[in-house]
A and B are shown apart, each in its own frame.
Chain A
Amino acid sequence: MAEMLRLATAGSVDDGKSTLIGRLLYDSKAIFEDQLEAVERTSRERGDEHTDLALLTDGLRAEREQGITIDVAYRYFATPKRKFVIADTPGHIQYTRNMVTGASTADLALILVDARKGVLEQSRRHAFLSSLLGIPHLVLCINKMDLVDWSEERFEEIKAEFRAFAMKLDVSDLSFIPVSALHGDNVVERSANMSWYEGGSLLHHLEEVHIASDRNLIDARFPVQYVIRPQNQTDHATHDYRGYAGQVAGGVLKPGDEVVVLPSGFTSTIAAIDTADGPVTEAFAPMSVTVRLTDEIDVSRGDMIARVRNQPHVGQDIEAMVCWMGEASTLAPGSKLAIKHTTRWARALVKDLQYRLDVNTLHRDHDAPTLSLNEIGRVTLRTTQPLFFDEYRRNRDTGSFILVDETTNNTVGAGMILGPTEP
């Protein structure tokens, strides 16, 4: 059974990110001949010495013309062991928004540094954002090892420096791999040039890293998305059918489980868990299923089904880290926004901006009046309706929300819940 691994990549300009991704795609045969031909042609026209694999991952024309990547681009490749989805994001400071977007669903973050330059401010920022977004696995690829004579000493130096910084972050699994993206060393095959390195290649690591237990399997959470009622008068089998469709957001659900429906607080028992392929004996994230209850109670979209003895926080006062993404507006105390959390929409009032975080130094500025594009801060929100939430650290699905500008309808903020506001 091939699992899916989502990874987010980040690196400063010219660290070799595009070359590395190009090589992963090329060596795993995800590149087709016509794409390669187009890239070879462009390289020739530009007078490059060798085929520039970086061109494989360049997208829109504006980017081709400016020679930079400006948005999140998704790439796909597969090996017999796994299918990989790469969210490729640019490293410039003004694109924190894109990095946060790409990181939001990632299982693993791949951060590149140039072996000659070592850990730069940008590398630290990428590591911080990865940890803020709760990416469970972080891999630091130390690239261009060919330009430092494949030096073990240099590798160890960078490793130690990065480790010292990562101590300040919440990173549970950190790995270091010395590579040469250009020549392919330690990308797919282990390198003959660095016999001192005892770990596996990057691809080997991506194939083997254990991700199944990263999901929350403890706290059963089922946000109701859609109520299925066939209302077919002639079909007796489905005449009285009433099922609650949704995607499991945590824990394991089983028929017979005693559950509570929020916000009503009514309790019932799971009668069955249906899918179009028939009933299942258990459901876990990220399965999309339809839950039926033994009692006829009023349940609608935006409600949350949880276990009676393990319920999420229910409340209207929330503490969260927010990354502001609005281009034309800022976040300030008093701002009113639409908020989407699981399958529930409400309105939110910004009660307080406690501090703005400098993503490079982690310094907290308690006097900051606003958050503008690409800025991150700790915010206190009051919502018009109760939300049913967990800490983002505990559950990325029930701990996250987006903020939407009510006049432009643009998504202007991404939030990670710290917990209920202390009274």
Chain B
Amino acid sequence: MTTTYELSHLRALEAEAIHIIREVAAEFERPVLLFSGGKDSMVMLHLAVKAFAPARVPFPVMHVDTGHNFDEIIAFRDEIVAKVGARLVVASVQDDIDAGRSVDPSGPRASRNRIQTATLLRGIEENRFDAVFGGARRDEEKARAKERVFSFRDEFGQWDPKNQRPELWSLYNGRTAPGEHIRVFPLSNWTELDIWQYIADEGIPLPPIYFAHKRKVFLRDGMWMADSPLIARTDADEVEERSVRFRTVGDVTCTGSVESTATTLEAVIAEVAATRLTERGATRADDRISEAGMEDRKREGYF
């Protein structure tokens, strides 16, 4: 057999992500990996484990907990973190509400999605994290298409699209002054389909809500929302049982599901490959607020 010295695109993406994760571990004092139990953060954690094997991942993971979770997710999160042997830091939105730092939104369309930014920034500040790994990808949304792999945030955690460092070759500049931090996106160049194919190739476990299951749901703005005590329904909302799966694991109040019969990874990949709606457009009520919704939230310090 002759060697052609070619890498498949998934192996090239993996090599790039591992390189980025190791750079951060080498150059920063207090990195942290954001971990929600969702598929992107599962891939992130998996890559971090691979980057340092056979040693342990040399940084903790942090979950920004809105308190509005799918029950399955928290159990899954704890199991995975224990298996990897990482330290888990939980930054809780409820704590900020209880302390009067945030106001719990109310009403039928209330969601804690927006106020979780404050909790995330508090978690970063209190733990003096100087590099924060996120699973965001450039293919997710227009404003993200220009995001750097090392994204600079000022002392307020804010993102200024005009004040970002040019990023050349694979030479990342992670120098910061005290109080500033860098958000690091090792999955920048992955697409949703790459994530799914990698999950299948590597046998990465996922929480069950990613696969088709029967659930009581109701239709809102063209999305199937889970019927949950956390979401105030109006009388017009009709609850019915459908076979659905979720494409992201956000806050219950703003994460919609899609109708699906895909109970295996292969079936999910086939559906993803055939889908004609972007992940966020289909299932994230928060991004529909306005065309510039994501850009505004990024400026505030959201991912």
Q: What is A's interface to B at a CB cutoff of 8 Å?
A: 1-4, 32-35, 38, 58-62, 71-76, 78, 82-83, 85, 97-98, 100-101, 104-105, 212-213, 215, 217, 225-226, 228-232, 237-238, 241, 245-247, 252, 274-277, 282, 284, 286-288, 290, 301, 325, 338, 340-341, 343, 396-397, 400-402, 404, 409-411, 414
Residue of B nearest to A35 (CB): B278
B237 partner residues in chain A, CB cutoff 8 A: none
Say whether A34 contacts B278, CB under 8 Å.
yes
Say whether A3 contacts B9, CB under 8 Å.
yes
Say whether A287 contacts B7, CB under 8 Å.
yes
Say whether B161 contacts A60, CB under 8 Å.
yes
User: What's the minimum C-beta distance from A411 to chain B, rounded to whole angstroms?
Assistant: 4
B81 within 8 A of A: no
Give 23 CB contacts A-B under 8 Å.
Answer: A1-B6, A3-B8, A4-B13, A59-B142, A76-B138, A83-B194, A85-B189, A101-B167, A104-B168, A225-B22, A228-B54, A230-B55, A231-B55, A241-B54, A245-B52, A275-B50, A276-B51, A286-B16, A286-B19, A340-B171, A402-B168, A404-B173, A409-B177
User: What's the minimum C-beta distance from B181 to chain A, rounded to whole angstroms?
Assistant: 12
Say whether B15 contacts A411, CB under 8 Å.
no
User: What's the minimum C-beta distance from A361 to chain B, rounded to whole angstroms?
Assistant: 25
Say whether A230 contacts B5, CB under 8 Å.
no
User: What's the minimum C-beta distance from A113 to chain B, rounded to whole angstroms?
Assistant: 25
User: What's the minimum C-beta distance from A92 to chain B, rounded to whole angstroms?
Assistant: 16
Q: What is B's interface to A at a CB cutoff of 8 Å?
A: 3-9, 11-16, 18-19, 22-23, 25-26, 49-56, 138-139, 142-143, 145-146, 161-162, 164-171, 173, 175-177, 188-189, 191, 193-194, 275-278, 281-282, 291-292, 295
A237 partner residues in chain B, CB cutoff 8 A: 54
- Report the bound CA distance from A263 to B189 in whole Å: 34
B191 partner residues in chain A, CB cutoff 8 A: 76, 78, 83
User: What's the minimum C-beta distance from A378 to chain B, rounded to whole angstroms?
Assistant: 18
Known: A58-B142, A229-B55. A414 touches B168 (CB 8 A): yes
- Report the bound CA distance from A215 to B6 in whole Å: 10
User: What's the minimum C-beta distance from B4 to chain A, rounded to whole angstroms?
Assistant: 6
Known: A33-B276, A343-B26. A100 touches B188 (CB 8 A): no
Say whether B175 contacts A409, CB under 8 Å.
yes
Q: A3-B6, A4-B12, A341-B171 are in contact. List 9 more A-B contacts (CB 8 A).
A: A3-B7, A38-B291, A60-B142, A97-B166, A101-B167, A252-B5, A275-B50, A276-B50, A404-B173
Say whether A410 contacts B165, CB under 8 Å.
yes
User: What's the minimum C-beta distance from A379 to chain B, rounded to whole angstroms?
Assistant: 16
A238 partner residues in chain B, CB cutoff 8 A: 54-55
Say whether A396 contacts B169, CB under 8 Å.
yes
B25 partner residues in chain A, CB cutoff 8 A: 226
Residue of B nearest to A238 (CB): B54
A-B interface, 5 closest residue pairs, ranked by CB to CB distance from nearest: A34-B281, A276-B50, A4-B9, A230-B55, A288-B18
Q: Which of B9, B49, B295: most chain A Cβ within 10 A?
A: B9
Say whether A247 contacts B15, CB under 8 Å.
yes
Say whether B277 contacts A32, CB under 8 Å.
yes
From the candidates A38, A212, A288, A396, name the one contacting B22 in the complex (CB within 8 A): A288
User: What's the minimum C-beta distance from A133 to chain B, rounded to whole angstroms?
Assistant: 9
- Report the bound CA distance from A48 to B173 in whole Å: 43
B19 partner residues in chain A, CB cutoff 8 A: 225, 247, 286, 288
Say whether A76 contacts B169, CB under 8 Å.
no
B170 partner residues in chain A, CB cutoff 8 A: 105, 247, 397
B14 partner residues in chain A, CB cutoff 8 A: 288
- Report the bound CA distance from A408 to B147 in whole Å: 20
Residue of A nearest to B46 (CB): A276
B13 partner residues in chain A, CB cutoff 8 A: 4
- Report the bound CA distance from A247 to B16 in whole Å: 8
- Report the bound CA distance from A32 to B140 in whole Å: 11
Residue of A nearest to B176 (CB): A409
- Report the bound CA distance from A105 to B16 in whole Å: 12
A284 partner residues in chain B, CB cutoff 8 A: 5
Say whether B26 contacts A33, CB under 8 Å.
no
Say whether B16 contacts A76, CB under 8 Å.
no
Q: Which of B25, B162, B170, B188: most chain A Cβ within 10 A?
A: B170
User: What's the minimum C-beta distance from B178 to chain A, rounded to whole angstroms?
Assistant: 12
From the candidates B12, B26, B188, B282, name the one contacting A225 in the complex (CB within 8 A): B26
- Report the bound CA distance from A111 to B53 in whole Å: 43
- Report the bound CA distance from A296 to B193 in whole Å: 43
- Report the bound CA distance from A156 to B173 in whole Å: 45
From the candidates A60, A85, A100, name the one contacting B168 in the complex (CB within 8 A): A100
- Report the bound CA distance from A217 to B191 in whole Å: 29
User: What's the minimum C-beta distance from A222 to chain B, rounded to whole angstroms?
Assistant: 12
- Report the bound CA distance from A212 to B13 in whole Å: 16
Say whether A401 contacts B5, CB under 8 Å.
no
Say whether A32 contacts B275, CB under 8 Å.
yes
Say whether B9 contacts A72, CB under 8 Å.
no
B278 partner residues in chain A, CB cutoff 8 A: 32, 34-35
B168 partner residues in chain A, CB cutoff 8 A: 100-101, 104-105, 400, 402, 411, 414
Residue of A nearest to B150 (CB): A411
B282 partner residues in chain A, CB cutoff 8 A: 34
A59 partner residues in chain B, CB cutoff 8 A: 142-143, 145-146
